[in-house]
Amino acid sequence: MELQKEITITVQVNGRPVTAVVAPEESLLEFVRNRAGVTDVKCGCNKGDCGTCTLVLEGQPVKSCLVLAAQANNKEVWTVRGMAADPLMQALQESFATHGAVQCGFCTPGMLVAARSFLAHHQQPDREAIKEALSGNLCRCTGYKKIVDAVAAVAASQASARD
Amino acid sequence: MSSFAYAVPKTKDEALALLNELGPGGRVVAGCTNILPDIRAKKITACTLVDISRLAELKGINVRGEKVTIGSLTTINELLHSEIVANHGQVLWQAGQRFADPLVRNRATIGGNLANASPAADGVVPLLALDARVMVASLAGEREIPVDAFFTGPGKSVLQPNELITGVSFAKTTTMKSAFIKFGLRKAMAISLASIGLVVGLKGDKVDQVRIALGALAPTPLRARQTESYLAGNTLTPAVVARAQEIVRTEVKPISDVRASQEYRLHLTGVLLKRAFEAALA
Ligand SMILES: Cc1cc2nc3c(=O)[nH]c(=O)nc-3n(C[C@H](O)[C@H](O)[C@H](O)COP(=O)(O)OP(=O)(O)OC[C@H]3O[C@@H](n4cnc5c(N)ncnc54)[C@H](O)[C@@H]3O)c2cc1C
Ligand code: FES
Ligand code: FES
């Protein structure tokens, strides 16, 4: 069995294959920012606490500082930037802006990714459910209320669009 | 050059052969939610990371007869989406809801939670209350260890470096009542100050079977055996519950730390016991 000190991996980042040589302990966060140059994913704490590094890996939102780059080999990741054409993401971005849910903006990409993943699977969430869904994402500026307002507004318009 | 190496075995047997060869120099990697922070904090240094995260053999939740089996790579989120767990291992489902946050739950595995051996582990406390068994494999073969006998201290277990946790199993608790309560300083992501997992079966108004598991109240998660045997056959009157609260406080060995004092944790132990019965029987 081969022990590798340098691992060549290919990851689909926002639909584009990125190939690079990574170290064994390199995180997916480092890969996406430094090798793929996709910097909307932020590094707030590098230990799983803050959620600024949230991206979608194989369809699920995860904290990319908690994933080895090598574990994403031959898999697909999506960040906010790659979801620019997605109607739900667009609605969330607009709602964040109109509700004043963005102050310094550092937590915003991670919040948006977590919120989008949640709303895609939950039809009529109440505020408690929205708070729980975003509980892995910290914000030092807004006090969360405006963020929850912004997500709740999109959830409500999704619901009325279905009626 | 990195002091780490990486290997990605294609089968469980390949992983076992490699772990056997590497001995203490090998480190199993599953969801990585403990390992990457530990690497960053330099608690884990120079070793070969043996990435088992792609081994389909270690995934999945199954029922056969009265027995539920869960593969070690099953994530907490997968537990929460399982009808089998929700119906037949309710306490594990309840604990999953209080585990970390939804993002961490998409990666954290039940095998990693066991192997990490935290006294506060939120996956372990419910498994104790389910009287689960840990299935472990090495080149030499397989063995099963009751969860109760698995831990030897904070961060320590009977697991050997050449061994892999392949899964856990427990008997269905379909007709029993359950509760899991985690008392932390913050709602999400907080390490438990104390937690309790309770599984109780009643016959008429008497306690027929009861299993009480406690987290963060001793060097390892623990079963409150004396409290259990006192309660068995008794009716849960206020006086009986009060006596059980006294007994359970003698079974734990909490520490004082930055988050809470020993006295506070002792008090909390009794309170959690009462609340767990209230929640389970509500
Ligand atoms: C922000 C954050 C919040 C958290 N909150 C909680 C919480 O609320 N409750 C809680 O209990 N934990 C919590 N944790 C800790 C962690 O998520 C869990 O312990 C998780 O279950 C570990 O699983 P993993 O697959 O990520 O393990 P890894 O990090 O991959 O591995 C952990 C350890 O287990 C070993 N290992 C893994 N799988 C196996 C196997 N199959 N056989 C043998 N050894 C194995 C590894 O070698 C390593 O020593 C949190 C972590 C973070 C970063
Ligand atoms: S940078 Fe990943 S959670 Fe903070
Ligand atoms: S807007 Fe500044 S951290 Fe959230």
* A62-83 pLDDT per residue, tens: 999 999 999 999 999 999 999 9
Alpha helices in A45-134 (DSSP H): 87-98, 108-121, 127-133
CA distance B1 to B219: 38
Judgement on whether residues B167 and B245 belong to the same structural domain of the protein: no
Would you state the pLDDT for residue A37? 98
| A66–B49 CB contact, under 8 Å | no
Would you state the pLDDT for residue B192? 75
Ligand 1 atom, smallest distance to B33 CA: 26
Average pLDDT over residues B199-223: 96
Question: Quick check: B235 and B262 in contact, CB under 8 A?
Answer: no
Would you state the pLDDT for residue A123? 86
Would you state the pLDDT for residue A67? 98
pLDDT band at B187 (very low <50, low <70, confident <90, very high): low
pLDDT in tens, B46-77: 999 999 999 999 999 999 999 999 999 999 99
CA distance A109 to A41: 7
Average pLDDT over residues A12-17: 98
| A136–B189 CB contact, under 8 Å | yes
Is the beta carbon of B166 within 6 A of some atom in ligand 1?
Answer: no
Q: How many CB pairs under 8 A join A and B?
A: 102
- Which range of residues forms the domain containing residue B116? 58-171
pLDDT band at A163 (very low <50, low <70, confident <90, very high): low
- CB half-sphere exposure, A83, CA atoms < 13 A: 25
Would you state the pLDDT for residue B209? 97
Tokens found for residue B120: 């506060």
Average pLDDT over residues B129-144: 98
Rounded to the nearest angstrom, the distance between the alpha carbon of A148 and the centre of ligand 3 is: 13
SS3 label, residue B18: helix
Question: Quick check: B51 and B10 in contact, CB under 8 A?
Answer: no
Look up residue B99 and give its amino acid: F
Look up residue B86 and give its amino acid: A
Strands (E), chain B: 5-7, 26-29, 48-51, 61-64, 67-71, 133-138, 141-146, 151-153, 156-157, 164-171, 177-183, 194-203, 206-215, 222-223
pLDDT band at B188 (very low <50, low <70, confident <90, very high): low
pLDDT in tens, A18-48: 999 999 999 999 999 999 999 999 999 999 9
Residue B269 has pLDDT above 60, yes or no: yes
Q: Among the three residues B171, B192, B215, which one is the final residue of a domain in this structure? A: B171
CA distance B103 to A134: 9
Tokens found for residue B169: 């199993």
Question: Quick check: B218 and B254 in contact, CB under 8 A?
Answer: yes
Q: In terms of CATH architecture, what is A87-162?
A: Orthogonal Bundle (1.10)
CA distance A130 to A128: 5
| B107–A70 CB contact, under 8 Å | no
Judgement on whether residues B132 and B192 belong to the same structural domain of the protein: no
Question: Quick check: B118 and B154 in contact, CB under 8 A?
Answer: yes
Judgement on whether residues B240 and B269 belong to the same structural domain of the protein: yes
Is the beta carbon of A106 within 6 A of some atom in ligand 3?
Answer: yes
Locus of tokens 């840990």 = B134
Question: Quick check: B112 and B34 in contact, CB under 8 A?
Answer: yes
Would you state the pLDDT for residue A74? 98
CA distance A28 to A11: 10
SS3 label, residue A120: helix
Judgement on whether residues B151 and B256 belong to the same structural domain of the protein: no
Distance of CA B126 to the CA centre of its chain: 6
Question: Quick check: B53 and B73 in contact, CB under 8 A?
Answer: yes
Q: Among the three residues B119, B138, B171, which one is the final residue of a domain in this structure? A: B171
Rounded to the nearest angstrom, the distance between the alpha carbon of B50 and the centre of ligand 1 is: 15
Q: Mean pLDDT lowest for which of A67-71, B140-144, B261-265?
A: B261-265
DSSP code at position A2: -
Look at residues B216, B221, B132, B224 and name the one whose alpha carbon lies nearest to residue B182.
B216
Judgement on whether residues B250 and B158 belong to the same structural domain of the protein: no
CA distance A68 to A54: 14
Question: Quick check: A109 and A49 in contact, CB under 8 A?
Answer: no
SS3 label, residue A153: helix
Judgement on whether residues B162 and B184 belong to the same structural domain of the protein: no
Q: What are the two backbone dihedrals, phi and then psi, of residue B190, each rounded to the nearest 5 degrees?
A: -80, 140
Nearest CA in chain A to B186: A135
Judgement on whether residues B46 and B104 belong to the same structural domain of the protein: no
Judgement on whether residues B217 and B252 belong to the same structural domain of the protein: yes
Distance of CA B165 to the CA centre of its chain: 13
Average per-residue pLDDT for chain A? 96
CA distance A41 to A32: 8
Q: What percent of chain B has pLDDT over 70?
A: 98
| A66–B18 CB contact, under 8 Å | no
Average pLDDT over residues B238-250: 97
Judgement on whether residues B74 and B165 belong to the same structural domain of the protein: yes
CA distance A83 to B82: 29
CA distance B179 to B95: 8
The CATH 1.10.150.120 domain(s) of chain A lie at: 87-162
Residue B189 has pLDDT above 70, yes or no: no
Is the beta carbon of A107 within 6 A of some atom in ligand 3?
Answer: yes
The CATH 3.10.20.30 domain(s) of chain A lie at: 7-78
Residue A161 has pLDDT above 90, yes or no: no
Would you state the pLDDT for residue A101? 97
Judgement on whether residues B118 and B161 belong to the same structural domain of the protein: yes
Contacts of B51 in chain A (CB under 8 A): 68, 70-71
ipTM: 0.97
DSSP code at position A33: I
pLDDT band at B154 (very low <50, low <70, confident <90, very high): very high
Q: What are the two backbone dihedrals, phi and then psi, of residue A18, each rounded to the nearest 5 degrees?
A: -120, 120
CA distance B27 to A57: 23
Locus of tokens 């906010």 = A80
Average pLDDT over residues B270-277: 97
Model pTM? Answer: 0.97
pLDDT band at B150 (very low <50, low <70, confident <90, very high): very high
Would you state the pLDDT for residue A115? 98
CATH number at residue B122: 3.30.465.10
What is the dotted CATH code of the domain comprising A7-78? 3.10.20.30
Contacts of A4 in chain B (CB under 8 A): 5-7
CATH number at residue B212: 3.30.390.50
Chain B interface mutation, best of A121, A135, A138, A139, highest count of B Cβ atoms under 10 Å: A135
Judgement on whether residues B65 and B164 belong to the same structural domain of the protein: yes
Is the beta carbon of B192 within 6 A of some atom in ligand 1?
Answer: no
Tally of domains in chain B: 3
CA distance B146 to A94: 53
Look at residues B118, B108, B87 and name the one whose alpha carbon lies nearest to residue B36.
B108
Which of A7, A47, A137 is facing B40, going by the closest CB pair?
A47
pLDDT band at B256 (very low <50, low <70, confident <90, very high): confident
Cα Rg of chain B (Å, integer): 19
Ligand 2 atom, smallest distance to A48 CA: 3
Question: Using CA of residue B232, residue B233, residue B236, residue B237, what is the dihedral sign?
Answer: negative
